[in-house]
Structure 1
């Protein structure tokens, strides 16, 4: 985490990408490697451990759960943001985290349109609901037309690769990696948790209205989290030099 001691203190950065650079760039070289992210997440997790939740219970609180999710997602998000594949994130690459945050803004944000477009692409029979069979049919092979269309839509919002085709290849590879299989079947869809997250009424279908409600809920959660990150960013940056056992993790 960065530490700046240049006389008068500058105001803290306001853009998410700049805040993340401030927090994660432990050696002030204007780039972030995966080990720095792992170290920071481990530190935050340790700070949260043992505190219980707001009601005084001893179980893992909401923020510990969120850190756990972040640790699992971090490697693939890192690869996605690492446009040039050099194993480090620059300020220009981190700007896409700012763009993502802005895309969730209800006033002019474009992420909702992207999510709705994805639903329509996957909804083969246009009945405003997705079945497990539809999800399998669109993700069971690496040459899925649906995944190609989704990659093109995503590239329009976040051109993280020189071409949409290159981004499509990354998305396809990531889908199969996330399931840990060469092909995706009905059981892997069910065990992935997708239906648990999105099928709110448990009828075996993901309805358009359920996706809308989930989008609003998760969007508010993400925006709340990024606001908190901006607020506590300076504190995390100052804690960067702390020698806390177990912080380093296994990433190099």
Structure 2
């Protein structure tokens, strides 16, 4: 968790508490150490956030303090509502949970009228038809993309042939009916797509791929433009 997110969550925890919260209690919620909470509270107090209390006794947020409200136009509020509903089509449980956390953070600082619009907007999005990944975590794939880590895949193609692949993950691609990993495949020395519902095993390797990620994305896009969809693991 980023420190800025943790500071926000500390304020939110204190705002919603009915009495003093100890550093240990806050630390338990945020899955950090009490020492980290002590440092964060000291930083918030230094920034003039009116937190009162002491170690061992507990902390409270002085009444009347609030974060500045976020202001959204009607169209922007509609975009938030539709976007959150669209996320449920992706069959990505970690993103669903993250979306709920985002929405709760936004709702906490929205004016009441806009908060109602976001929470009860009359927009409905059909469910997607892609399969739920079985045995792999898409958050692990996203982290590997961010960190430029190679992945080792146990993969079954459309004819049930099993192969082991070492790939350089470039992007996750969410379609209505399928989710795929776009990657450079060391076995084929080419760009490939891998359906996440056909990935049987996945492990993150210590090795980072040597190519610059921007060059890989540019190469992938060039291959896509030249051939429509690159030869894939579909």
When normalised by structure 2's length, the TM-score is 0.24
- Of structures 1 and 2, the larger Rg is shown by 2
Greater helix content: 1
Greater strand content: 2
The structure with higher relative contact order (CA 8 Å, sep 6+) is: 1
